[in-house]
Chain A
Amino acid sequence: MSEASGSLRTLEADAAARRVRRNWLLSLPALTLLLVGASGPLLIVLVYSFLKPGDFSGVIWEPSFNAWFQILFSRDIFDDTIGLADAHLTIFWRSVRLSLSTTLITLLLGLPTAYFIATRSGRQRMFWLFLITIPFWTNLLIRTFAILEMLRNEGIVNNALIDLGVIAEPLQILYTDTAVLIGMSYVYLPLMVLPLYAAIERLDFRLVEAGYDLYANRVQVFRRIILPIIKPGIVAGSILVFVPSLGAYVTPRVLGGGKNMMIGNFIELQFGQGRNWPLGASLSILLLFIVMAALLLYVRASSREEPHG
């Protein structure tokens, strides 16, 4: 409290020093739970990635780098030559391509949306913010399922297009990369809007007005004033969308069918039909590293931006 007198502040410091020193011990139960239920098992995955696959599932406890080798290379079963694992590369490329496209689409749609919300006044702003949060918290599966309903051959989109006379036959959208892209953009759009909103909300519009007063046009104002200030929000939103997109499992499984897999589905395959747990483990660790690298870039970018924002 600001009106706290000097003596009260001394008392506060005193009490803090006396009673509060070992309060961090209260975090231990939560840390233990997370160690057992989240972080610890990741170490087991790391170990498994250096073992040999068991015959049906599981692993044989023999050290091997084979799983890591298999990520990129395959040995021909007939002539033993080593080549690039085309199937894996296709899946990696699809994952990266779809995740980047999703990020770009959600950015292009999310930026105006966030700008719109941030420029509303008081209660209106809360209303729009609430509207964007509802789909965000709606079960991912339900949202993916909703898109499935829209895109199916006899679904709303095809029916509408046929009724309008745009097409004569229903388009096969479902079970294509396009369907996965539409689904992921739909599912992750709120994740982009929220950090963008937080950044734009902090924007001092007097700067924009000053820009106009100095005869800058709208493009110049956007490029020279708004964009530099909201850049941390753009970076945050992009990371928040890119990271879950890359590891997406439900959306590609439901909308992509069995064929249009992404890394997440490919990992699952190794633990199911593929019966290659070490390969699945090494792919998981690889995915984890990519995500951590992205997060690290974000932390560095945002801490560098701090003084300006």
Chain B
Amino acid sequence: MAERRRKTFSVRQLPGVTPITMACFAALYAPIVIIVIYSFNAGDSVALWQGFSFRWYAIAAENELVQEATIRSLVIALWASGISTVLATMAALGTTRTARFPGNTFIYVMINQPLMVPEIVTAVALLIFFASIKVATGYSGLGYLILAHSAFCVPFAYLPIRARLEGMDRTLEIAAADLYATPWQTFRRVTLPLVLPGIVAGAMLAFVISLDDVIITEFVKSAGQDTLPTYMLGQLRRAVTPEVNAISTALLGLTIVLLTAFFLLTGRGNDKKP
């Protein structure tokens, strides 16, 4: 009996599982932690610790290219997350609050298309497409980047909003409609407040995704339109200074703050990651 009890107890403890898991987490975090630590290094080296200092943060903050890239990154991410969230909310309403019809699958595939096509292929496609528009119109502003970012952010905004809408009790909406609320009133007074956490979560996800994008930005941007990630990619070609560590750490901090908020908003860690 004692024998069997021990065996039953070991169900959750297959051999080797714990050590491999701990090794995995150590390996996942060690490089990131080292980047963060060395961003506070006083010396010029990325490998030799010479005391604590905010020197590289100051240098990064004073660098005009970094300033411009930061502002550009934020402007693009704000526009892209705004546009994609509004459109994704409409699409989520359109796909959950509708009678089933033949085009359903098509809409779903279209919306999630940026998740399925390799990013390099989308980047190349947009390069070709926008290059010819640039020639035709002469316009070479941030519009292309905002358009491209908005497009690939749509599925990231769509998924949490849709999840929220699908999990929602519909009786309240139906009651509002029965009480002669117009569709707009129903949406404004009933649906929107209920789905808002999903919308905020989707917007934050879209913001992070836009802020982090490298490949599509690298291909679509015109000369002098570096964002923080493409600026970093360019820097990696030269000698690396802890300045890149400092920028990485700042970006990392922002990402972690937004994602923690995202986790809290979507409840107990919605792991329906695209």
Interface residues of chain A, those whose CB is within 8 Å of chain B, are 1, 4, 8, 11-12, 15-17, 19-31, 33-42, 44-45, 48, 58, 109-110, 112-113, 115-117, 119, 126, 129-143, 145-150, 152, 154-156, 159, 186, 189-190, 194, 197-198, 205, 208-209, 212-213, 218, 222, 243-244, 246-247, 249-250, 253-254, 264, 267-268, 271, 277, 280-281, 284-285, 287-288, 291-292, 295
Describe A's contact surface by its main secondary structure: helix
Docked-complex contact A24 and B18, CB < 8 angstroms: no
Q: Which residues of B lie under 8 Å from residue A292 when comparing CB positions?
A: 116
Tally A-B pairs: CB < 8 A: 287
Q: Which of A34, A129, A247 is the one whose CB lies under 8 Å from B119?
A: A247
B21 close to A (CB within 8 Å): yes
Interface residues of chain B, those whose CB is within 8 Å of chain A, are 4, 7-8, 10-18, 20-21, 23-25, 27-32, 34-35, 38, 46-47, 83-84, 87-88, 90-91, 93-95, 97-99, 101, 103-104, 107, 110-111, 113-114, 116-122, 124-129, 131, 147-148, 150-152, 154, 158, 169-171, 174, 177-178, 183, 208, 211-212, 214-215, 219, 229, 232-233, 236, 240, 244-245, 248, 251-252, 255-256, 259, 263, 268-269, 271, 273
Across the A-B interface, the 3 shortest Cβ-Cβ residue pairs? A37-B151, A247-B118, A26-B94
Least Cβ distance of A28 to chain B in Å?
8
Residue of A with least CB distance to B263: A130
Least Cβ distance of B155 to chain A in Å?
9
Q: Which residues of A lie under 8 Å from residue B110 when comparing CB positions?
A: 31, 34-35, 39
Q: Which of A8, A45, A132, A213 is the one whose CB lies under 8 Å from B128?
A: A45
Docked-complex contact A194 and B271, CB < 8 angstroms: yes
Residue of A with least CB distance to B17: A112
Name 14 A/B residue pairs within 8 A (Cβ), A-sorted. Answer: A4-B171, A24-B101, A30-B158, A31-B107, A33-B87, A38-B117, A112-B20, A115-B17, A129-B269, A130-B263, A131-B29, A145-B236, A146-B34, A189-B28
Residue of A with least CB distance to B16: A112
Q: Which residues of A lie under 8 Å from residue B211 when comparing CB positions?
A: 139
**A112-B20, A140-B214 known; A42 vs B28 contact (CB < 8 Å):** no
User: In the docked arrangement, what's the CA distance between A205 and B127, Å?
Assistant: 51
Describe B's contact surface by its main secondary structure: helix
Q: Which residues of A lie under 8 Å from residue B11 when comparing CB positions?
A: 205, 208-209, 212
Q: Which residues of B lie under 8 Å from residue A31 when comparing CB positions?
A: 91, 107, 110-111
Q: Which of B16, B83, B103, B252 is the one whose CB lies under 8 Å from A33?
A: B83
User: In the docked arrangement, what's the CA distance between A246 and B120, Å?
Assistant: 10
Q: Which residues of B lie under 8 Å from residue A115 when comparing CB positions?
A: 14, 17
Docked-complex contact A141 and B233, CB < 8 angstroms: yes
User: In the docked arrangement, what's the CA distance between A113 and B207, Å?
Assistant: 29
User: In the docked arrangement, what's the CA distance between A133 and B68, Å?
Assistant: 30
Residue of A with least CB distance to B114: A38
Q: Which residues of B lie under 8 Å from residue A26 when comparing CB positions?
A: 90-91, 93-94
Apart from A115-B17, A247-B119: 8 A-B pairs, beta carbons within 8 A: A30-B91, A34-B154, A116-B20, A119-B13, A137-B259, A138-B32, A156-B47, A249-B119
Docked-complex contact A186 and B251, CB < 8 angstroms: no
Q: Which residues of B lie under 8 Å from residue A24 when comparing CB positions?
A: 94-95, 98, 101, 103-104, 107
Q: Which residues of B lie under 8 Å from residue A15 when comparing CB positions?
A: 174, 177-178
Docked-complex contact B94 and A189, CB < 8 angstroms: no
User: In the docked arrangement, what's the CA distance between A129 and B103, Å?
Assistant: 36
**A45-B125, A131-B25 known; A19 vs B252 contact (CB < 8 Å):** no
